[in-house]
Amino acid sequence: ADEGGAEAPVSGLRLRIRCLSNRAACYIKLGDYPKVVDDCTAAITAVRAFERDAAVRDRSLLKLHLRRGAAYVQLARADDARLEYRAAAAIDPSNETASIALQALDGPPPVSGTGP
């Protein structure tokens, strides 16, 4: 039974993934971008290998790709950042963060219908 809205117990692996994800968020705040990449990479690998619940998997991967993309931007690794934001957009095409980041990385779209 639900005890006052408490979350269900988290398995060991899910807890590790959550801790890596949260630590990556802390590293973003601290500006330690290589550690953001490391933690997100480890968490993404674990999520892909072990998470069977599609909703949990997608929610986790979306967050991790966005964080790793932000770190790559700060590390001036635009190509890697694009891959991360595209992965996030593939999970959630309506995600504004991924869309805005891709626009910033790719520049404004070409204007059609105008000529000299």
| Predicted confidence (pLDDT) per residue in 1-47, tens digit | 444 445 555 578 899 999 999 999 999 999 999 999 999 999 999 99
Contact call for residues 67 and 98 (beta carbons, < 8 A): no
Per the model's pLDDT, the better-predicted residue between 5 and 96 turns out to be 96
Global pTM? 0.83
- Looking at residue 3, what is its pLDDT? 44
- Looking at residue 11, what is its pLDDT? 78
Task: Kindly state the helix (H) or strand (E) to which residue 63 belongs, with its residue range.
Answer: helix 54-74
Closest CA to 39 of 28, 48, 29: 28
Q: What gap in Å lies between CA 19 and CA 4, rounded to an integer?
A: 24
Q: Which tokens in the block code for residue 98? A: 């991924």
Average pLDDT score over residue span 84-105? 97
Q: Which tokens in the block code for residue 94? A: 């309506």
- Cβ neighbours of residue 98 closer than 8 Å, sequence gap 6 or more: 65, 66, 69, 85, 86, 88, 89, 92
- Looking at residue 5, what is its pLDDT? 45
Report the percent of the chain where pLDDT is more than 90: 78
Q: For the chain, what is the mean pLDDT? A: 89
Contact call for residues 33 and 71 (beta carbons, < 8 A): yes
